Amino acid sequence: MKEPARQSGHGEDSAAFPHCLDPASWKHSNGTQCESIYLSSPLPCVFGSHVKTLSSSTVAAAGKLPRNNNVPWRGNSCLQDGVVGGYYDAGDAIKFNFPASFAMTMLSWSVIEYRAKYEVAGELSHVKDIIKWGTDYLLKTFNNSADRIESIAAQVGSGGNDHYCWMRPEDIDYDRPVTECHSCSDLAAEMAAALAAASIVFKDDKAYSHKLVHGATKLYKFAKYRRGRYSVGDSEASIFYNSTTYWDEFLWGAAWMYFATGNSSYLNLATIPSLANHAGAFRDSPEYGVLSWDNKLPGAQVLLTRLRLFRSPGYPYEEILRAFHNQTSMIMCSYLPVFTSFNRTKGGLIQLNHGKPQPLQFVVNAAFLATLYSDYLDAADTPGWFCGPNFFSTDVLRDFAKTQIDYILGKNPQKMSYIVGFGNHYPTHVHHRGASIPNNKIKYSCEGGWKWRDTSKPNPNTIVGAMVAGPDKHDGFHDVRTNYNYTEPTLAGNAGLVAALVALSGDKSTGIDKNTIFSALIPPMFSTQPPPPAPLKP
């Protein structure tokens, strides 16, 4: 079986889930109470149980699992890999480091902004474990002790065996090659972003935070001097996770490196107009404003707008930061139904990937950005923003995010929750090898597992909290295991979901953590005025 490139709940009405007030009503489909602490929040159970889905001790984790693994049908796997650990990408056992790095960056970003919400949910240490499992692995994928990096492991496993075989990861016995890259600016800069963002999450652990910054610094240097796309040519990466350009990762990585180190040379890079132009900041495209594992530009624009809102570094950065701020405002306008930048399904799902399959990963990222920007404006005592001559309040952005999450939770024509285990009607034939094969002490061969792939029976194991790929452009959905365009969850998509859910949880009074992201910056940062001219000489 060959899978092509991945496109970068109960069905009651909205009142039944995102606005409920009774903790007793939040139950899994088997009737058991949700494990997470109930928040005065729209999404307590989904948020809490979903974080557990991505846990280092659960479904997506590769390598030797920790003792607190709480998924009985998962165990140690692929201990003979050339690079052990990390996360499997989706329903297969391949480790794609490009989208995995983006997933870690997104999770870290959500912790930096909403640490207090994670604490209230009782999930802060948990999500930090998830991030550390990923960053520990990323640190193994290059020679962190060398003065100069010469190569990076880009992928472990192959689309040949890993897609042809239908086996539990614990039973894999075939060769799993490590694919290295020597000129891969996009991958290196995204990995640098992941390590840099995580260094802020772990700033209280000085030794580990320093280790992450050290690795990120080497990676970003490698990205600058070993130019190229990691998915160039006919590589497997070009089939499954093709990177269209590396300029957006340069911008995104530079922003995170600046926040992690306080080194103004990274801000100088992030605010070079030509770099922003190469990244597509000044031209229209179908992907403009669509944050994904391939397109980091919207994330960089929002991050640098944050800098302008709360630190206002002034000259010589103000002009380009103002441009990013204006572009961020335009992106937020594009999400609103009053504008026609993106179509919507009849059920109301925004079509950020223009009707292509697997839409939900893009939707949750947009929901996160919209909620986050709304919180930025609230924290800056700004009641809203302009779309042309029209003023919109910050509540409009939260409403957009809530309606999209409502759709995912079941307020859609299928009355289907696209988060496994939430509600009474959710996908039961998830495209996932480990979930579809019983843990019955029988080792099924590469082809022997096909009977579990092809059976019409529901999966014997439930991936509680996993968001599947989602419906088609007509709101249609087929709960069929062999159709990954509907039923496959991905690491990057689910990281975006966690970020969106925590951002929406609680009420607006909690808001963001304004200062932690700036902890490496030493105020006053810069003069707000241009330097005086040189004295005239007679």
Question: Annotated catalytic sites, by residue?
Answer: 92, 431, 479, 488
DSSP 383-416: -EEEETTEEEEHHHHHHHHHHHHHHHHT-STT-B
Region of 393 on the Ramachandran plot (φ > 0 left; ψ -120 to 50 alpha; else beta): beta
Distance CA 466, CA 366 (A): 18
Structure tokens at 144: 């962190």
Distance CA 281, CA 301 (A): 8
Distant-in-sequence, close-in-space partners of 80: CB < 8 Å, separation ≥ 6:
176
Dihedral (CA of 487, 491, 493, 498) sign: positive
Contact present, 34 and 44 (Cβ < 8 Å): yes
Distance CA 225, CA 359 (A): 35
491 phi and psi, to 5 degrees?
-60, -50
Distant-in-sequence, close-in-space partners of 492: CB < 8 Å, separation ≥ 6:
99, 100, 102, 103, 106, 292, 293, 361
Region of 381 on the Ramachandran plot (φ > 0 left; ψ -120 to 50 alpha; else beta): left
Distant-in-sequence, close-in-space partners of 507: CB < 8 Å, separation ≥ 6:
40, 41
Structure tokens at 403: 């309606």
DSSP 102-135: HHHHHHHHHHHHHHHHHHHHT-HHHHHHHHHHHH
Determine what percent of the chain falls in helix, strand and coil, rounding each to the nearest 5. 45, 5, 50
Distance CA 322, CA 307 (A): 10
β-sheet bridge partners, residue 419: 467
